[in-house]
């Protein structure tokens, strides 16, 4: 009988973590594993998984409120009361997940998001199934006076059997204790190099012609779309012809931010230079239509999939430092810029706009870096090895 794994996610909307989940599920199914994915409802992720032949189980989850909120679209404020308010809906979801696990009896439960780590770990404990956390987040130590980070590390110490972190920066947040060395392993995210590849109908901008710039991320203040608009204003002031395309929808807790960004673009005189694409189904086509990918988060991004996908697509990268960007961007021949420095971003873009040959060379180097580091087939082998070591322990 083939081994089985049950993935748990708290959302069926598409973000970077959900893209990775779909890749993992499909790779494991191809490797002979019986794969199921438990989601709280239908949605884009569920449709992708069904299209891959992966079984989707709907385990309804009561509404959870965000652990933080934004004041005037700028200042992120922790909401410690959310832990108390979410206790009842989280407990109900935990009970429903445990019932699902008891019926399926998977060899491994694999969680991919913060609430799924918390709830599914307890649910799996109740039915004696080992749990793998796939940690793709940095829990900032300063939030709520460090309460969230302490609770996260405490939960991590006792509940999961294995913790797979998407980068060294993510793994570092657990410290250096003996339990960390035993549990915490780094498994970098990957992309489908066949799907994300250079090419397409659009030729790169010629010297002096309009530059096509792209940014892809959920619309939330820390992802830096407003910083991109400031850079676009500075680039316009330098007389560079360009078009800037933004892909992504609002994140949890940022309702109304898309409207705020559109108004800000109009205030800066950028309405005719900026496109708000919303959710983009065909991301490979989006990347192939770009001359440059710009990613300007205001906080360290744990492992930005957008940089990996763009590099695989042969698109030159500009990003602020911190998190995994410190490794990906230099390796892919991109440019790291200081945080909140729109003038510096505009300067790099102006330089690149005048040299299409240099951009193409950076794109070739980015693709070579992706081929060396982001191979999906090697990733699947590592993941299966992690699973089998856990099953062997049991």
> What is this structure's pTM?
0.85
Residue 33 has pLDDT above 90, yes or no: yes
Considering the segment(s) 4-190+375-393 as one domain, its CATH architecture is 3-Layer(aba) Sandwich (3.40)
Q: Which CATH class is domain 211-373?
A: alpha beta
Report the C-alpha gap between 225 and 109 in whole angstroms. Answer: 35
In the chain, domain spans: 4-190+375-393, 211-373
% residues pLDDT > 70 (the chain): 93
- 211-373 has the same fold as 4-190+375-393: yes
- Quote the mean pLDDT of the chain: 91
Residue 259 has pLDDT above 80, yes or no: yes
pLDDT at 390 (0 to 100)? 94
pLDDT at 14 (0 to 100)? 85
Q: What is the pLDDT of residues 75-95, one digit of tens each?
A: 667 676 777 888 999 999 999
Residue 124 has pLDDT above 60, yes or no: yes
pLDDT at 393 (0 to 100)? 64
Q: What is the pLDDT of residues 368-383, one digit of tens each?
A: 999 999 988 788 889 9
**Mean pLDDT along residues 34-54:** 96
Strands of the 4-8 sheet, one edge to the other: 55-58, 34-39, 4-8, 108-111, 131-135, 162-165, 184-186
- Full DSSP string of 32-77: T-EEEEEESS-SHHHHHHHHTT-EEEE--------SEEEETTTEEE
Lowest-pLDDT range of 68-72, 95-99, 385-389: 68-72
């Amino acid at each position: 009988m083939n081994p089985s794994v049950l993935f748990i996610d708290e959302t069926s909307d598409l973000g970077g973590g959900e893209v990775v989940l779909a890749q993992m599920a499909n790779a494991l199914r191809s490797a002979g594993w019986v794969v199921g994915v438990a989601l709280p409802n239908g949605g884009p992720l569920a449709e992708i998984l069904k299209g891959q032949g992966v079984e989707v189980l709907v385990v309804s989850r009561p509404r959870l409120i965000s652990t933080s909120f934004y004041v005037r679209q700028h200042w992120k404020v922790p909401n410690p009361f959310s832990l108390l308010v979410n206790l009842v809906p989280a407990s109900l979801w935990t009970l429903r997940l445990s019932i699902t696990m008891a019926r399926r009896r998977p060899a491994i439960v694999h969680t991919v998001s913060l609430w799924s780590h918390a709830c599914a770990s307890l649910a799996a404990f109740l039915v004696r199934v080992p749990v793998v956390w796939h940690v793709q987040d940095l829990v900032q130590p300063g939030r709520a006076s460090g309460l969230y980070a302490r609770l996260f590390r405490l939960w991590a110490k006792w509940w999961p059997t294995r913790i797979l972190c998407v980068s060294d920066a993510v793994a570092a947040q657990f410290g250096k204790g003996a339990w960390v060395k035993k549990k915490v392993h780094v498994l970098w995210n990957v992309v489908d190099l066949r799907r994300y590849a250079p090419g397409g109908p659009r030729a790169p901008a010629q010297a002096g012609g309009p530059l096509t710039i792209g940014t892809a991320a959920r619309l939330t203040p820390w992802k830096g779309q407003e910083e991109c608009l400031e850079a676009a204003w500075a680039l316009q002031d330098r007389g560079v012809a360009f078009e800037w395309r933004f892909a992504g929808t609002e994140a949890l807790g940022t309702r109304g931010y898309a409207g705020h960004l559109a108004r800000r673009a109009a205030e800066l005189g950028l309405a005719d230079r900026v496109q708000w694409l919303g959710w983009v189904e065909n991301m490979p086509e989006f990347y192939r239509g770009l001359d440059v990918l710009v990613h300007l988060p205001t906080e360290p991004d744990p492992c930005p999939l957008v940089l990996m996908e763009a590099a695989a697509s042969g698109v030159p990268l500009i990003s602020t430092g911190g998190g995994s960007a410190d490794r990906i961007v230099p390796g892919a021949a991109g440019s790291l810029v200081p945080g909140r420095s729109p003038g510096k971003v505009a300067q790099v873009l102006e330089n690149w706009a005048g040299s299409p040959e240099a951009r193409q060379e950076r794109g070739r180097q980015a693709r070579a870096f992706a081929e060396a580091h982001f191979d999906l087939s090697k990733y699947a082998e590592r993941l299966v090895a992690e699973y089998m070591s856990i099953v062997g322990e049991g």
